[in-house]
Each structure stands twice: as structure tokens, then as C-alpha cells.
């Protein structure tokens, strides 16, 4: 494809994949099939897009950079639709041909990857799976277990809703321009509530956010205003523990107890 004189834009997190082996590995992991509906976030110059088009799947491209979107405008048709929009505010659920059927793919702009993932998780009922290239450190945090330094809000909220499967690690040299950090591809599969289902997803989001804002504190202090010591101990959880030692299932139980105790939902918690 002719890229014109487009120069990579830092503000849009543009690090274009150039390593053909990495591109082939990602496409193999996605394994797109005819009849599927796939949303690609940030097609850029098409490193992944060409392979997705070749699969015969129905493809929706969401691209914020008008100059890059222009590369795709002329190629739109029944199986290729272009949305010149900000993925952070895009309604992905509307693309799902049926609930839980949408597939999402993206070499994500790293500067917005965490809010973007929370935005997608809020629409996870529409989504079958997601394959993302991210900073390796973000994939490590998503996949981390309790008691490790990487375990935090992102780990709990992603693992609550999704199976997390690291797929491959990618060095900076696979991109142009090379990013300063190492990258990794992860597969997220929603719909697996392996850790229980919270009575109030909003309470869970609020409680987890509050717990990790104060991660150096004991649980008793970190959850003040939501659950008192006795309420925590009644669940068989030691109020002296630190938030990062709790399992996702324990967070779900704490959330249900806070909900039952009538703790007020005071904050918006989906970002």
C-alpha cells in the first residue's frame, strides 16, 4: 500500500508493526474466519488489516488519524467498513451481529491502552474475544496473580471478566519507529466468571479502585467507608491483610458484603 508521506504521530501512539514474522504470528493467533465480525482498533498502514481482509471476515476499522483513514476510504465495501472515530468513545457493542460474537483486534496506542481496555470491558457482553498488542508490562499486570508486585486493579478487573492468555512477546525492533518498551500480545476471552459473579459490578469496580489507591494500607483502612473490620472478618478474611494479597474471588465476596451492607456508590467506576 502507498503510505504517502505520512510520518508516525507520537500523540496517536503510532508504532507501526513491520516484522512480517510477528505479523504472521498474530494473525495465526487470531485465526479469523469468513462469516466472523471483527473490529480492528487503529489499522494504521494495515500491518494486520491486510491479513484480516484476506480472511474473508467482515471487518470494521476504527481509526482516529484522518490521514491514515484516507488509506482505507477507497477500499470500503460490504465486508470493510471504516469508522473515523476515537475508539475510546466508540460503541463496539453495536457492531456485534449477535451478543457475544464480536471479535476485537488491535496493536493499541500504548498511551490510551488501559482506559481503552476498561471501555471494552464495559461492553464485554458483545465480545467473543480480544487480541491486543500492549506494553509487556501491561500484559504482565493483567496476568498477575495475588501476592505479586504486578497484581493490582487491572489484574482484578480484567480477570474478573476474562480469561487472560499471553500469546507472544515482541521486541522494540519489530516496529517503526521502535517503542522504548518491550511489547506483548495478549488474548482476552470474556464471559468466564471463574471467580464468581458480583451482585453489583459497579460496587466491585468501586471497591477494587479504592483498595488499590491505598495498596500500602491494610484492608481495614483501605476499605474504610465501604466495609468495617467486623464485616471483613465475617467473610473469613483477615482485615490486616494488604489488598494485593487477595484473590479475585475474595474481592467479589467483599464487594457483595459491601453491597449488602448498603455502602453508597459514590463514584463512576468504569474508566
Q: Which residues bind ligand SAM (CB under 6 A)?
A: 12-17, 41-45, 47-48, 62-65, 68, 86-88, 107, 109, 112
Task: Considering the complex, state which of residue 109 and residue 146 has its C-beta at the smaller distance from ligand SAM.
Answer: 109
**Backbone torsions φ then ψ of 202, nearest 5 degrees:** -70, -40
Longest CA span, the chain: 65
* Distance from the Cα of residue 85 to its chain's centroid: 18
Q: Which residue is nearest to ligand SAM (CB)?
A: 42
Minimum CB–partner distance for residue 74 and ligand SAM (Å)? 17
Task: Considering the complex, state which of residue 44 and residue 243 has its C-beta at the smaller distance from ligand SAM.
Answer: 44
Minimum CB–partner distance for residue 40 and ligand SAM (Å)? 7
**Nine-digit cell at 224?**
474504610
Task: Measure the CA–CA gap between 166 and 44, rounded to whole angstroms.
Answer: 23
Q: Which of 213, 217, 216, 209 is nearest to 254 (CA)?
A: 209
Minimum CB–partner distance for residue 208 and ligand SAM (Å)? 25
Q: Give me the long-range contacts of 215-224 (CB less than 8 A, separation at least 24).
A: 215/152, 215/242, 215/243, 215/244, 216/242, 217/242, 217/243, 218/242, 219/243, 219/246, 223/254, 223/258
Task: Considering the complex, state which of residue 138 and residue 207 has its C-beta at the smaller distance from ligand SAM.
Answer: 138
Task: Considering the complex, state which of residue 19 and residue 228 has its C-beta at the smaller distance from ligand SAM.
Answer: 19
**Cα→Cα distances 31→45, 94, 258, Å:** 20, 23, 42
Minimum CB–partner distance for residue 264 and ligand SAM (Å)? 33
Helix (H, G, I), strand (E, B) or coil at 74: coil
Minimum CB–partner distance for residue 222 and ligand SAM (Å)? 32
Whether the ω angle into residue 203 lies within 30 degrees of 0, i.e. cis, is no
Minimum CB–partner distance for residue 17 and ligand SAM (Å)? 4
Minimum CB–partner distance for residue 210 and ligand SAM (Å)? 28
Task: Considering the complex, state which of residue 68 and residue 227 has its C-beta at the smaller distance from ligand SAM.
Answer: 68
Minimum CB–partner distance for residue 53 and ligand SAM (Å)? 13
Decide the pairing of beta strands 175-176 and 162-170.
Answer: unpaired
Task: Considering the complex, state which of residue 82 and residue 143 has its C-beta at the smaller distance from ligand SAM.
Answer: 82
**Nine-digit cell at 243?**
489488598
Task: Considering the complex, state which of residue 44 and residue 239 has its C-beta at the smaller distance from ligand SAM.
Answer: 44
Task: Considering the complex, state which of residue 19 and residue 150 has its C-beta at the smaller distance from ligand SAM.
Answer: 19
The number of beta carbons lying within 10 Å of the beta carbon of residue 168 is 16
Contact (CB, 8 A) for 113 and 107: no
Amino acid at each position: 500500500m502507498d503510505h504517502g508521506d505520512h510520518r508516525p504521530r507520537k500523540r496517536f501512539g503510532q508504532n507501526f508493526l513491520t516484522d512480517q514474522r510477528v505479523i504472521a504470528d498474530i494473525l495465526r493467533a487470531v485465526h479469523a474466519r469468513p462469516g466472523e465480525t471483527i473490529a480492528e482498533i487503529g489499522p494504521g498502514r494495515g500491518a494486520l488489516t491486510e491479513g484480516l481482509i484476506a480472511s474473508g471476515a467482515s471487518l470494521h476499522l476504527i481509526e482516529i488519524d484522518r490521514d491514515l483513514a484516507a488509506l482505507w476510504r477507497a477500499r470500503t465495501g460490504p465486508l470493510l467498513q471504516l469508522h473515523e472515530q476515537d475508539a475510546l468513545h466508540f460503541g463496539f457493542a453495536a457492531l456485534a451481529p449477535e451478543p457475544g460474537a464480536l471479535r476485537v483486534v488491535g496493536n493499541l496506542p500504548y498511551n490510551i491502552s488501559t482506559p481503552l481496555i476498561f471501555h471494552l470491558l464495559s461492553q464485554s457482553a458483545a465480545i467473543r474475544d480480544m487480541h491486543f498488542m500492549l506494553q509487556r508490562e501491561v500484559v504482565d499486570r493483567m496476568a498477575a496473580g495475588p501476592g505479586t508486585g504486578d497484581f493490582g486493579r487491572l489484574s482484578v478487573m480484567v480477570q474478573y471478566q476474562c480469561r487472560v492468555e499471553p500469546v507472544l512477546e515482541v521486541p522494540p525492533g519489530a516496529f517503526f519507529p521502535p517503542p522504548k518498551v518491550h511489547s506483548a500480545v495478549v488474548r482476552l476471552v470474556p464471559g468466564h466468571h471463574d471467580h464468581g459473579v458480583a451482585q453489583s459490578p459497579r460496587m466491585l469496580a468501586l471497591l477494587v479502585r479504592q483498595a488499590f489507591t491505598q495498596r500500602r494500607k491494610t484492608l481495614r483502612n483501605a476499605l474504610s467507608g465501604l466495609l468495617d473490620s467486623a464485616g471483613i472478618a465475617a467473610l473469613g478474611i483477615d482485615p490486616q491483610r494488604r489488598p494485593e494479597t487477595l484473590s479475585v474471588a475474595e474481592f467479589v465476596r467483599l464487594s457483595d458484603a459491601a453491597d449488602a451492607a448498603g455502602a453508597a456508590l459514590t463514584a463512576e467506576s468504569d474508566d
